[in-house]
Amino acid sequence: MALLNPQVREQVRNLLLGMEHPVKLLLFTQGEGGAIECDFCAETRQLAEEITALSDKLTLEIYDFVRDKALADALKVDKIPALILQSDGQQPQDHGIRFFGIPSGYEFGTLIEDILMISRRKPDLSLATMQQLARLDRPVHIQVFVTPTCPYCPRAVMLAHKLAFASPWITADMVEASEFPHLANRYHVYGVPRTVINDVIHIEGAVPEETLMAKLMLVMDDQVMEELKRSWSRSQL
């Protein structure tokens, strides 16, 4: 049974007509022989297959989380289902854009917006943000915890993914909180969206671009980050 009804398929097909350059989806799914339990791997695979069938500018590559461990490690995939979006063509490029958990509900729209952003190669960020991103000189890992029924979460995920697209230093993950409760517990996710930067910077809600950037640029201040790390360590006791 199809996950996308005919009306939604037609809407998505029409949106994908706006693609300018090809995009590749990489899906990491169930371990060989059922060695790794993954409640939503089959649904995520079906969703990815249905979407890529709607445009000749989309391709899908499916990998086994266990058998293809070297690739998973290289792409920083440590849980499944995992969906990665990359520029395709003569020079494929990874932009650090990740979905951990099925992008369903409100996050389905985020997935389509991400595809269009990568295809158009335009993150649509302010000049001030681009200037700040140009100052980065160290890795930044953004995790945005969401649930499918949260109407504010897509804005937080999309902003994080725009930042990842704009900077090679940034990796940005959508993390479906109910699929990864151990991470939700670890990062004290009591409401969504909750954004976590480099483990120790925590942001509640879908904040404006300039607010997120003010928090993100704290990674450049070693003294502040050390204090945040100490505070985070104490909170884990």
Architecture in CATH of 1-122: 3-Layer(aba) Sandwich (3.40)
- Report residue 4 as tokens: 């996308």
Chain centroid to CA 176: how far?
10
Helix axes 106-120 and 6-16, enclosed angle (nearest 10): 20
Q: What per-residue confidence (pLDDT) applies to 36?
A: 53
Residue 120: phi and psi, rounded to 5, are: -85, -15
Q: What per-residue confidence (pLDDT) applies to 237?
A: 65
Domain range summary for the chain, segments of one domain joined by +: 1-122, 125-237
Peptide bond between residue 81 and the one before it cis (omega within 30 degrees of 0): yes
Q: Give pLDDT tens digits along the chain (237 positions).
A: 899 999 999 999 999 999 999 999 999 998 655 455 588 999 999 999 999 999 999 999 999 999 999 999 999 999 999 999 999 977 779 999 999 999 999 999 999 999 999 999 999 999 999 999 999 999 999 999 999 999 999 999 999 999 999 999 999 999 999 999 999 999 999 999 999 999 999 999 999 999 999 999 999 999 999 999 999 888 876
The model carries a pTM of 0.95
Q: What per-residue confidence (pLDDT) applies to 197?
A: 98
Query: What's the CATH fold of domain 125-237?
Result: Glutaredoxin (3.40.30)
Whether the domain at 1-122 and the domain at 125-237 fall into the same CATH topology? yes
**Is residue 219 within 8 Å of residue 198, measured between CB atoms?**
yes
Q: What per-residue confidence (pLDDT) applies to 37?
A: 57
For the stretch 180-188, contacts whose Cβ atoms lie closer than 8 Å and that sit 24 or more positions apart, written own/partner, are 180/79, 180/100, 180/101, 183/143, 183/145, 184/145, 186/236, 187/143, 187/145, 188/235
